[in-house]
Structure 1
């Protein structure tokens, strides 16, 4: 079968690449044309657009790039029609993907949504759109099933694919200085969020001369960008080895997003950081309907990790929370125990295989019905 997959972010690239791997095991004739990244390409997908050219954050940023977004939508629709896939798999990235889903619904092309938009957090009106234009919804967070059921949408919980990415993974040390603790800095994957959060993280570095701070860099961001933000601070940038870095780190400062969950599943105590544009933040604060911004706290339904948001993301607050993680054994033990409970809630490995099996069977049935 021919699969068209759209993933607009780094996390989507990771999960879609694992899905592609599993789909190839189920369907030996599988052909993939995708919007995504390097990991999907490594699995044999033809990449039409790279996610680094698609990421626009916040309300004002979207408005400033509206022309580019419209052109991308037009191109995507035409590219799908030229490719004529047996089904389209949408991976998160809701602002773009739900518009594509509406178009596909009109054209009678089956739509599978893998990794639900966070409609439970804000823009719950999107549930009506999903109910109308999405043929199969696969969710990865345990509470999403109940949410969709309450809104009249049939959804299937397949488990979280991060457990697949981490299952059986071997880790390599990133530094040989065993006598010095390491703190990982994860400022995000987009230049916009890195520019907003990394300078705040770096301000705490001089207060911990006994610690090695290492920035988890992403390959799509050039070295000069990190160097300019770091200035004279004594930090190292390590690209492409985030999991190795987290495994060796005593603690981590992490920008809100999927990375907060990755850090927890590896078992590294963390502080969650967020800082956005003033206008975007003011709008979001009025629209968001959840108590927390980190997936860890949302899944556990209580504060497991400290969240420092906007004005609370100060040097003094970062120092206070980081000292607790590094030197308060009780605090560290409590977090690690909570992380064990988190893994249980998410189920075991196998999410990618379960999702692939569901998608392959669903599309074959749809294909048979159309013949």
Structure 2
């Protein structure tokens, strides 16, 4: 789901970190090193719109890349420059499936064995899963990449040869439409699926690198980043919500991102029958808009310190509820559990919040669920930046959706 909201601590010398995946994206939750971008579903030379995701895809290119970027540990002795993109961190349970599509494009050839890859990184254990790789070679299969780490994802097709010829694709810059020698071309879209083996916090890493020299560029397009069918996104829309990075000690999902005035950020939690919203960073919540779910009784809003005397009752979905000069938190009750919305529906419960801010502001907000059941959850991690907690406490009736946090000056 496009992205520079949390910042991953990277020690790449001289690395330029740039926001990526389209300037119109409102959430910034990925890190780009080098040259990254976003295509909004239009054909671009040999790259046709991606499967699903309205044809949109993200990309990295060695054109304009940085020295030392997109290395594969132990396999990058002759890599020169490149670009890489790290997704937002997300929590995944054992057995969940990470899936996406990719397309490798190269104008190089002969002995200049440029490559592209995707890795899944367990940010807790630092274990790296090589999901796929592709490599420029003068003949034979280009996927999996020759003399690169074995891949662990299931690929469809499993083995791919190059569609030969000088590829035209704008991210290649001056190399678009050029070809050094045998091996130039593109793979076409390839599907990748991988079953998560260990519960934890994960991050996807995509990269493309030049080999032996920095001439005749290559790149990687990728799309449809999904976890069990839910988009691993940038928070820019209902279709691209941020997924949680961790589960906290009270069952809350934890997110990291930076909000700016008039920015809408969509996150994807599991929900139950109520929530406690609380700002931890000192700002005040000015108003809230709750979703229209067909509940004739509406919602009830309370102070966090007084759950007996409501601030408002029967608040209907879609109507603006004002907190006057602002509150540091509130309790929402009255979500009808009988609705039993589909946990895979990312638009099931959208809440809009406005904050009393005058410029780009890091907001620490927790949203703790009210549930009828409890379950063991992992220990929380220490976060260096903003945390948005959205709860998951074990329950048989769970609803999952996107929550909208809107920072308004």
**Is this a same-fold pair by TM over 0.5?**
no
Larger Rg, first or second structure (1 or 2):
2
- Structure with a larger share of its residues in helix: 1
Give the TM-score normalised by structure 2: 0.29
- Structure with a larger share of its residues in strand: 2
